[in-house]
Structure 1
Amino acid sequence: MKKLLLFLLFPVGLPGAYAQVVNADPQAKYQWKEVTASGYTYRYVTNDPSQTRFYTLKNGLKVMLSVNKKEPKVRALIGVRAGSNQDPDSNTGLAHYLEHLLFKGTDKFGTADWAKEKPYLKSIDSLYEIYNKETDQQKRKAIYAEIDKTSGIAAKYAVANEYDKLMAGMGGQGTNAHTSVEETVYEEYVPSGSLDKFLALQSERFRNPVFRIFHTELEAVYEEKNRGLDNDAAKVQEAMFSTMFPTHNYGQHTTIGTIEHLKNPSLKEIRKFYDNYYVPGNMGIVLSGDFNPDEVIKKIDGAFSYLAAKPFPTYKPQAEKPITAPVVKDIYGPTAELVRICFRSTADNTRDGMLADLVSSILSNGKAGLLDLDLNKQQKVLGAGAAVWQFKDYGIFFMMGNPKQGQTLEEVKDLLLAEIEKVKRGEFDASLIKSIVNNQKLSELNALQNNVGRANNIMGNFIRHRGDNWDKSVAYLDVMSSITKKEVVDFANRFFKNNYSVIYKRKGEDKSIAKVEKPVITPVPVNKDAQSPFAAGIQAIPAIRIAPQWLDFKKDMQVLTRNGREFLYTPNKQDQIFKLYYYYDMGAYNDKMLTYAAQYLQFLGTDKKSSEDISKAFYDIACSFNISVGTKTMTVSISGLNENFDRAVALFEDLVQHAEPNEQALAELKGRILKSRSNAKTNRAGILAGLASYAQYGPENPFNYDLSNREVETLTAAQLVNEIHQLFNLEHKVLYYGPRAAEIAAAGVQKLHPAKTDYTPYPARKAFNQLPTDKKQVLFTDYDMVQAEMRWVRNSGPYDPYNAAVINVFNSYFGSTLFQVIRESKALAYSTSGSYVTSGDKTIDNSITAYVGSQADKFNDATAGMNELLTTLPESGKGFEAAKSNVLNSLETQRISQEAILTEYLRLQKLGIAEDVRKTTYEKLAPLTFGDIRKFHAQNFSGQPYTLVVLGSEKKLAMTDLEKLGPVQKVSLEELFGY
């Protein structure tokens, strides 16, 4: 967990701070202090870069505030220290159910008439209890029919989606929540000027939640379960927990619950869970962003002081018995093979937990770990890595590997275990520990600018420790830097024995799948324009309007010219990190081999340095490079500490100019590419993307524009090395974001990376012709899955950046409407979306896309529901105002900063625009009416032919149903991928 989720542990210091070796007591500079301000006492940790304040209100509620004024927004998390661990054995999945229901409102909002709605909801509660106890299937169906009927009546008084509308109206973004083994967290991102509205809504949300519109939400959870049954990665994850924890609820309770428990929910048990665990002493609020903490704590106290302090149950697990012999688990499914080896670790915030974390980085850090150098760099496997997840009671150290062509999972397992043996024998350089700490500090210095990262880290600490050991979290890397090689070796020999589980994910049919069957559900009314008096009150709370800030490219950046080459500059005034980019106006559409040359480079050395030496050199100075080849552009990036700028750029320059061919590396790379291509044909998301591209362009399309397998096999080392050597001979711009002054930075780049006067012209760019969407058709690809995924595709009008106002409001409104109708009213899918997609390129038409993923036996209802909304746009004045307000707030609070200023400048430059186009969008928003988006829908969506692409199992979908929607063309994987 620490390796994946740590963010904020390094205080900004002077250049060279990374190289310091901490003293014998690295914890000493991180001490708790207590301060009283504005009538409230809070604690903080000295030298904490996030400057987080920890308050405990009189009722026990924890409040954690971290100020970051980079943008006028606030990341808000409300966490409960209860997840699937706390589920009763007889009702697994209950915490997750409750998470869904906390979006349904209370007796004050989410209802148009609580007095009339209440008795029907009480009746539904009772019916579910009878339903749970009944075993006769016919009687169960009759009871469910009564639940369905009563739910339909109750829904007439409900205001569906009112929470989401209120959040959208105040400019909230990223409304979401998640449940895990020991937590449930509710997530928002709100404008700082809307905090009063936000707190008023949240305090009511947790006062007396009402479990309304339950049976359609229950069906959404069924859909979520079925999606998990189709997800091989989720099955591997479940197997990892179950083998590591045969006793603890980590492994015995799945977060989403068992099929049997999903079929028999108890609203009374859910209410009991809420009453037990949603109490102030078990809850925490984290805010990170632009606000005054002295003012905000008063508002939070005023909003949540009604919560009464009371005791809550604690989960006290039995200790797990040691694993004394390898536990083997086979998982089957259609996706690519992999192996995962797992060791049970100690609880979070223990010395052994830290050592496990450090060993995972010694093995795998992306550049200089043993797995990185011995397996990935040597291409002995398709890919390998290691990580640690740590929780309150235990942790998991795990390694994962993907086999090459012709390689067995057992062979990959042996290679992974062999690397552990090297750690046990001490076959790694002691200096690697220092490099690991330095690189993690660099990562955390970058993440410090991000409110999401700050808030997540603080909330994670609250979930595991109630925030009480924040001092240890802040000191974490300093303490790690004091670990010696001997301690690591001693730990490895003590920790790694035959005490592991190995999970083999094999290709094949999973015969254990038993999907959650759909019940008969009558669509419920959604009362699109109903509004509770409480919601009207929230809307009436004044919000502080935030003045938008538009880019002024003449002030926010500089364009210098050196020997005819453009140098784009913007300063970093926050820390000592630089980011340097070489930007090419060409990509894979110009040269298919560019992608493969960029991959090949990571395995090459020079006449003086091996590939491994180069990786170690970059890692030692906490710098990195990357070559990103897009379809029309290519970007080389070099980043790291400013003090190491010259060394990093010189290292990369030397590698590009003096890279030497390596025939063995190329042979291995070809094999891995061909294996990766084979694996790609098992990836559902990739197949669906290929179908959509096929729908837009036909058989020859951007998705499959690539070298054939035969062309890959015939690539030569000389060809690819020549591509690399020619990289600097192609015209490119230089982009710099960093602490150096513009002239100094430009001079430094010119010295290390001199401009030329005779650049080689770009190869001609491949152009694709979009197909006219002038008739209905269905493209179908067969895939072994429980669900079916459908995407509607249509090519639309030309791109115009000045149409963004109506498009953005329409997309916000239409997306909300789809969710409300497809999911909340009709319970047809867990996931649905739809939008008008702008191409961002004047040479490419915009497109329309809509998506539904549902059970295969809901195919007809799901497609009919989407087709209805594509034809007729339901009108909701309240929904429109919320969508419009959301887009306005988004523009007012959006801040384009750092290197993003330079990339935005280049994007607009290609369109022939010299000013920030968002200003025009903002000015066009005010006069927009619902009539404008109705007209937009009528012109672009309604009555238009679409290509429907369908991914599903031919065993579960009737071709006759597809044929009703248009002529069906079956598209093979070879046609989609081009190989």
Structure 2
Amino acid sequence: MKIKLSLMLLLTGLSATTLKAQSPYVWKTATSGGYTYKYVTGDPTHSRFYTLKNGLTVILSPTAKQPRIQAYIAVKAGSKTDPSDHTGLAHYLEHMMFKGTDKFGTLEWSKEKPLLDKIDDLYEQYNSTKDEGKRKEIYKEIDKTSGEAAKFAIANEYDKMMAAMGGQNSNAFTSFEQTVYTEDIPSSSIDKFLVMQAERFRAPVLRIFHTELEAVYEEKNRGLDSDPRKVQEALFAAMFPNNNYGKQTTIGTIEHLKNPSLKAIRKYYYDYYVPNNMGVILSGDFNPDVMIGKVAKNFSYMKTKTVPPYKFAPEAPITAPIAREVFGPNPENLTIAFRFPGASTRDARILNLVGSILANGKAGLFDLDLTKKQKLLSGFASADILKDYSVLTLRGTPTKGQSLDEVKTLMLGEIDKLKKGDFSNDLILSIANNLKKSKIEQDESYVQRASNLMDDFTSGVDWKTDVASIAELSKITKAEIVAFANKYLHDNNFVIVYKRQGADKNVVKVDKPPITPVEVNASKQSPYVQMINSMPANPVKPVWLDYNRDIQRAKSGNVDVLAVQNKDNSIFRMYYRFDMGSWNNKLLPMAAQYLQFLGTDKMSAEDVSKAFYKLATSFSVNANTDLSHVVISGLQENFGASVSLVENLLANCKADEAALTSLKARIKKSRENLKLNKNNIMQGLVSYAQYGADNPFNYTLSEQEIDAVKAEDLINLLHSLTAYKHSILYYGPQTATQAAASLVQLHKTPATFTAYPAKKQFTRIKQDKNSVLFANFDMVQAEIQWVRNQEVYTPAKTPTVELFNAYFGGGISSIVFQNIRESKALAYSTYADYAQSAKKDDNDVFVGYVGTQADKMNEAIAAMNDLLNTMPESGEAFKSARENVVKSIETERITQEGILFNYLAAQRKGLDYDIRKNTFETAGKLGFTELNAFHDMELKGKPYTYCVVASDKRITDDDLKKYGELVKPDLKQIFGF
């Protein structure tokens, strides 16, 4: 379940009644291009809101920075409106909306339809039958008939169409009250896109259903392995006993997953997928006068229909704390939540401001009192705004030896401070300044614009509120906040969920049903898709970087300044870049962590955080393996003050022994928690597979080294940081010369830089035989990664690699996905990727992945191994992949500081040119023969290291030994501590 919450909701502060008559933010109506629309005066996004004759909402936000368009087709219906006897239905339908109609996704509809009708009836029989023996017989018939129907189906034809037109990030998501379909397309393909989408929503066909159902089973099992999901479900169940927020989950119950009804899914579509309940949201490179005509023409067939209203009994007030417990392998934490009115109310909007007062990452009560003072390992507060109700959520992770009840006392103590007004008088203004910066940055992105507009549409938030937010936010008084807190936040009206570390005895996984692999007809193409592909598209001229032309250069003292000028707004982002990291000095990451808890002789650590937040400046020191950055971003008007603050802190930070003692305990507790996370364990196995027992993942401070660290060791490192050679990257309103001139006075450097400490060297292992690395973890699923070190990076391979990844394993229409998920239903998530090295003297790496039920592991491994040894040829999939590579590069625009980082990435590879030009010119000429030769040379018959994370209660050593020599490193060997 993905609960989409608009970042812009954080900006909503006051009700419309507080807007004065002279407000610059008002709704106006205009007519242009033959269509009438509404807009908000003063809106920097210039968004237009149309309502077509059939009730369809169309929201257009033009911006010509990149020749692409972010599209959302949103339905105001989700799991909240699922029938109580068919939970998970909205989510099922979301999956099935990718399967096509009677025009595409089919080879011969007249022969496919009778078989699909039969499958409909069989599922109804299956659902109404209680006798398990009879159910098995019916399911066998479903499996058999599905195999026959699949002979006339073309799996993933939708995704191939999107790939062929240069689409990216084709996906969808379902939450409580929204189902949203998302695409990022070249603006030149908009005509194809709209024709195809109109057809997609006209009459979806629920084909290839039982294998897709198995993919949802896998998604459910992944949820059973997710402690955060279990906490959220327990929290909402206790908070909302009358509303479907709590009564049912987005993915549905196991019982309903096992008993789906195609007829119920189809009824849901007819009830809710109607124009007056839907929106088409587009942001990007287009003329809105032209675009609205295109959208109206394509979606005019839709007919208005009354949407069934969602009804629920109001929730009774919570009069005593409601406690729940959740068990799982992940670290312990505590969640407390208070209930508030829904999104359309003023109180819900004020709640967002309260959330920022409690926690904003810098100067909130949680930030200063709990995180900065290291009273908790982590703590945050956030407002979740939903249509019917809103929730204020507090979450804390304990430090070493701290009980969850102690976490509770600390977090509720901050609520008491809020109720007493014990927070800075200028905090609300500081929040407004930070949101001003955030809003400017969001408006830069066509993707973020569309996301914000879509979120407001589905949640019913007035766009004017967002546009007017910053001006109105500063008018909220501290007294109003205190009164609000005392009205809603009491000592007994909350839900509390204790997430405890331990086995979850309530987990019942979704069992694997017997499924015969179905035909996916990957090489076939329907006449409809041929028509779509033949539609003309306006050619787009690609734009390549010229590092000499596109990057300004200057000197600030003896430091090189590389700059790209921001001519759009007042935002600056600057980086001090060091070619050293933890491989040069293992203390560097610890010093970077220590800095956030330090002050100077004139400012406490809390004063420093408040000062940065008041300036709307973000600041961090990031130390990676072989690169480190000091990052500063904010408003150019505060550039001097921001840089001075950073420089003063780096040069004059004072040792704090108490902070160091707490930091050491924090690091040790964090490291314990890392071992309780399956993703971290897998990351360690993959590094082990590439380098052996001595690898970058476990190159870290030992417990004894942490204990031995002295405050002066870290302080001296921070004080001397800018004495090491570095460059400065600047993106902002100034030119390189202007920025360099400003920095001469602000950023002092020595005449001669200190040499970097010697770098730790790692040697990749030569894989000459299959081996298996296994780590035990209490989980329902099994996760497997195939890892192989390849040859040293060669730029000439890049076009072939890009095309190979797009065709073989890089997306929904890839060979790996189609075979392992679509045909055989062996995984929810699967991919394969040939990753070229980031450095010219390092090796490429191949990684394949399958996340599957433990009882499917052997089948899943066999399926991937088959593909690694023989790559199927699919002419249409190959052409779509090739078109996708070419058109994606054609419409890609590297902008802002991305230009600087692209240049530096090229340097690390030994290049002095934009390699995309070579890929663009070469990839379009490659044929399947060249791709197959690459596959055979790099993958076929090669030894691999299988990295497996699973429960040893579900996977046996004998299973694992079938694939190679079995090694079971313990957690200390994996993590190095």
Instruction: Give TM class, smaller chain.
Output: over 0.9
- Give the SS at the match of 1:700: coil
Report deviation, 1:473: 2.6
Counterpart amino acid of residue 615 in structure 1: S
2:10/2:352 contact within 8 Å kept: no
Question: Aligned with 1:473: secondary structure?
Answer: helix
2:470 maps to 1:477: yes
Residue 97 (structure 2) aligns with:
102
Q: Secondary structure in 1 aligned to 2:202?
A: coil
> What residue is the counterpart of 1:80 in the other structure?
75
**Distance of 2:20 and 2:597 partners within structure 1:** 41
1:840 aligned partner: 838
TM (norm. structure 1) is 0.97
Deviation at 1:227? 0.3
Q: State the match for 2:973 in structure 1.
A: 975
Whether 2:959 is the aligned partner of 1:965: answer no
Structure 1 runs not aligned, ≥5 long: 12-17
Distance in 1, Cα, partners of 2:848 & 2:651: 47
Are the equivalent residues in 2 in contact too, given 1:26–1:482 (CA < 8 A)? Answer: no
1:774 and 2:768 matched: yes
SS at match of 1:209: coil
Alpha-carbon contact 1:9-1:475 (below 8 Å) kept = no
CA distance in 1, matches of 2:448, 2:241: 33
CA-to-aligned-CA distance 1:770-789 (integer Å, 9 cap, x gap): 00111011111111000000
Q: For residue 236 of structure 2, what is the aligned residue in structure 1?
A: 241
Counting only pairs closer than 5 Å after superposition, residues 531-610 of structure 1 correspond to structure 2 as 531-610=525-604
What corresponds to 1:143 in structure 2?
138
* Alignment counterpart, residue 495 of structure 1, candidates 477, 482, 488: 488
- Alignment of 1:320 with 2:283, yes or no, is no
Cα distance in 2 between the residues matched to 1:293 and 1:800: 45
Query: Partners of 1:3 and 1:271 in 2: how far apart?
Result: 25
Does the 8 Å contact 2:553/2:737 carry over to 1?
no
Aligned ranges 1:82-481 → 2 under 5 Å:
82-465=77-460, 469-481=462-474
Are the equivalent residues in 1 in contact too, given 2:838–2:908 (CA < 8 A)?
Answer: no
Report SS of the residue matched to 1:461.
Answer: helix
> Deviations 1:150-189 (Å, cap 9, x if unpaired)?
0000000000110000000000000000000000000000
Aligned to 1:736: 730
Q: CA deviation at 1:910?
A: 2.8
In the TM superposition, residue 240 of structure 1 has moved relative to its aligned partner by 1.8
Distance 1:727 1:181 in 2: 49
Structure 2 partner of 1:15: none
Is the Cα contact below 8 Å between 1:120 and 1:153 reproduced in 2? yes
* 2:679 paired with 1:685: yes
Distance 1:821 1:892 in 2: 29
Following the alignment from structure 1 to structure 2, what is the Cα–Cα distance between the partners of residues 450 and 2? Answer: 21
Q: Tell me if the contact between 1:27 and 1:475 (Cα under 8 Å) persists in the aligned partners.
A: no
Q: Judge conservation of contact 2:167–2:184 (CA < 8 Å) in 1.
A: yes
Query: What is aligned with 2:750?
Result: 756
SS in 2 for 1:448: helix
Amino acid at match of 2:880: A
Separation of aligned partners in 2, 1:751 and 1:807? 47
Deviation at 1:30, TM superposition (A): 1.2
Higher mean displacement: 280-289 or 707-716: 707-716
Counterpart Cα distance in 2 of 1:3 and 1:953: 32
Do 1:9 and 1:444's aligned partners in 2 also have CA atoms closer than 8 Å?
A: no
For 2:154 and 2:712, the matched residues in 1 are separated by 67
CA displacement 1:783-832 (0-9 Å, x = unmatched): 10000000000001111233211101100101211110100000000000
After the TM superposition, which of the residue ranges 906-915 and 818-827 deviates more from structure 2? 906-915
**2 CA distance for matches of 1:721 and 1:144?**
68
Map of 1:65 onto structure 2: 60
Gaps of 5+ in 2: none
- Distance in structure 2 (CA, Å) of the matches to 1:942 and 1:761: 45
Aligned residues of 1:568 and 1:736 also touching (Cα < 8 A): yes
> Over the residues paired in the alignment, what is the CA RMSD in angstroms?
1.6
SS at match of 1:549: coil
SS at match of 2:925: coil
Q: Which amino acid aligns with 1:6?
A: L
> Deviation of residue 3 (structure 1)?
11
Question: 2:66·2:284 contact (CA, 8 Å) conserved in 1?
Answer: yes
Q: Secondary structure at the match of 1:206?
A: helix
- For residue 25 of structure 1, report the CA deviation from its aligned partner: 2.8
Cα distance, 1:835 vs structure 2: 1.2
- 8 Å contact 1:4–1:389 — kept in the other structure? yes
2:910 is paired with a residue whose SS is coil
What is the aligned counterpart of 1:795 among 772, 789, 795? 789
Query: Which residue is equivalent to 2:927?
Result: 929
Q: Contact 2:581 / 2:625 at 8 angstroms: preserved in 1?
A: yes
Q: Secondary structure at the match of 2:331?
A: coil
Tell me the distance in 2 between the aligned counterparts of 1:282 and 1:519.
36
Deviation at residue 8 of structure 1 after TM alignment: 9.5
> 8 Å contact 2:556–2:743 — kept in the other structure?
no
Aligned residue type for 2:882:
K
Rounded to whole Å, the distance in 2 between the matches of 1:872 and 1:2 is 40
Letter in 2 for 1:488: I
Q: Which amino acid aligns with 2:536?
A: P
Q: Give the distance between the partners of 2:19 and 2:253, measured in 1 at CA.
A: 50
TM-score normalised according to structure 2 size: 0.98
* 1:925 CA displacement: 1.5
Q: In 2, are the aligned partners of 1:92 and 1:256 still within 8 Å (CA)?
A: yes
> Could you tell me whether the CA contact under 8 Å between 1:593 and 1:720 is conserved in 2?
yes
Q: Tell me the equivalent position of 1:941.
A: 939
Question: Displacement of 1:906 after TM fit?
Answer: 1.6
Distance 2:130 2:5 in 1: 45
What per-residue deviation string (whole Å, max 9, x for no partner) do you get for residues 502-545 of structure 1? 11100010000001111100000111111111000000111112
**Residue 10 of structure 1, CA deviation:** 8.8
CA-to-aligned-CA distance 1:868-919 (integer Å, 9 cap, x gap): 0111000001111100100101111111111111112222223332221211
Alpha-carbon separation, structure 2, partners of 1:555 and 1:806: 29
C-alpha contact 1:6 1:444 (8 A) present in aligned 2: no
Q: Is the Cα–Cα contact under 8 Å of residues 11 and 469 in structure 2 kept in the other structure?
A: no
Match for 1:666 among 653, 660, 666?
660
* Alpha-carbon distance in 2 for matches of 1:356, 1:863: 49
| Residue-pair matches, total | 968
Contact 2:883 2:924 in 1 (8 A): no
Counterparts of 1:307 and 1:642, CA distance in 2: 49
Partner of 1:884: 882
Q: Aligned residue for 1:14?
A: none
In structure 2, distance between residues paired with 1:321 and 1:904:
56
Q: Shift of residue 480 of structure 1?
A: 2.3
Cα gap change, 1:683 to 1:221, in 2 (>3 Å)? same
- Separation in 1 of the partners of 2:906 and 2:351? 47
Which residue identity is paired with 2:795? Answer: P
> Are 2:630 and 1:636 aligned?
yes
Q: CA deviation at 1:926?
A: 2.4
Task: Give 2:144's aligned amino acid.
Answer: K
Q: 1:526 to 1:277 in 2, by over 3 A?
A: same
**Aligned AA (2:368):** L
2:806 is aligned, of 812, 819, 836, to 812
Paired AA for residue 388 in structure 2: D
- Residues of 2 paired with 1:634 and 1:574: CA distance? 28
Q: What is aligned with 2:514? A: 520
Q: Look up the equivalent residue of 1:857 and give its one-letter code.
A: D
Q: Secondary structure at the match of 1:341?
A: strand
1:227-259 C-alpha deviation (Å, 9 max, x unpaired):
000000111111121111111011111000000
C-alpha deviations, 1:698-731, integer Å up to 9, x for none? 0000111111111111111010001101101111
Work out whether 1:505 is the aligned partner of 2:499.
yes
1:719 corresponds to which of 691, 713, 719: 713
Matched residues in 2 for 1:593 and 1:659: separation?
Answer: 17
Instruction: Report the alpha carbon displacement of residue 562 of structure 1 after superposing the two structures with TM.
Output: 3.6
